[in-house]
Amino acid sequence: MVSAPSSDGLIYVPPGVTRSAKIVISGSFAVGKTTFVGSVSQIPPLRMEERITQASAGVDDLERTPRKTTTTVGMDFGRLHLSDALVLYLFGTPGQGRFRPMWAGLTEGALGALVLVDTRNLEASFEILALHEEQGTPYAVAINLFEGAPQYDLDEIRQALDLDPRTPLTTCDARDGTSSVLALITLCEYLTELHAPVLEPRP
Ligand SMILES: Nc1nc2c(ncn2[C@@H]2O[C@H](COP(=O)(O)OP(=O)(O)O)[C@@H](O)[C@H]2O)c(=O)[nH]1
Ligand SMILES: [Mg+2]
Q: What is the pLDDT of residues 80-117, one digit of tens each?
A: 987 888 899 999 987 666 667 777 888 899 999 999 99
Supply the pLDDT for residue 33. 93
pLDDT of residue 2 exceeding 60, the answer is no
Question: What's the whole-number average pLDDT of the chain?
Answer: 84
Residues pairing with 72 in the sheet: 49
Cβ of 38 below 6 Å from ligand 1 = no
Per-residue burial over 6-31, b = 16 or more CB atoms within 10 Å of its CB, e = otherwise: eeeeeeeeeeeeeeebbbbbbbbbbb
Q: How far apart, in whole angstroms, are the C-alpha atoms of residue 86 and residue 20?
A: 6
Domain map (residue ranges) of the chain: 14-195
Separation between Cα atoms, residue 86 and residue 93, nearest integer Å: 22
- Please report which residue ranges of the chain form alpha helices under DSSP H: 33-40, 103-107, 126-135, 154-160, 177-195
Q: For the chain, give me the number of helices (H) and strands (E)? A: 5, 8
CB 111 within 8 A of CB 72: no
Query: Does ligand 1 lie within 6 Å of residue 35's CB atom?
Result: yes
Rounded distance from Cα 120 to ligand 1 centre (Å): 13
Q: Quote the pLDDT of residue 76.
A: 86
Q: Which ligand is nearest to the CA of 146?
A: 1
| pLDDT: which is higher, 42 or 65 | 42
Task: Read off the pTM.
Answer: 0.85
pLDDT at 16 over 60: yes
Ligand found nearest the CA of 73 = 2
Closest protein CA for atom 19 of ligand 1: 30
> Which atom of ligand 1 lies nearest, measured to the CA of 29?
19
User: Per residue in 51-66, pLDDT tens?
Assistant: 665 555 555 665 666 6
Residue closest by Cα to atom 8 of ligand 1 = 32
The predicted pLDDT at position 121 comes to 93
pLDDT of residue 101: 77
Q: Would the CB of 34 count as within 6 Å of ligand 1? A: yes
Ligand 1 touching residue 28 (CB < 6 A): no
Whether pLDDT at 160 is above 70: yes
At the top level of CATH, the class of 14-195 is: alpha beta
The more confidently predicted of residues 179 and 30 is 179
For the beta sheet containing 46-51, the strands, ordered from the edge strand earlier in sequence to the opposite edge, are: 2-3, 46-51, 70-81, 86-92, 19-27, 112-117, 139-144, 169-172
Candidate ranges 37-51, 85-99, 135-149; pick with highest mean pLDDT: 135-149
Higher pLDDT, 95 or 156: 156
- Find residue 45's DSSP bridge partners: none
Residue type, position 145, single letter: L
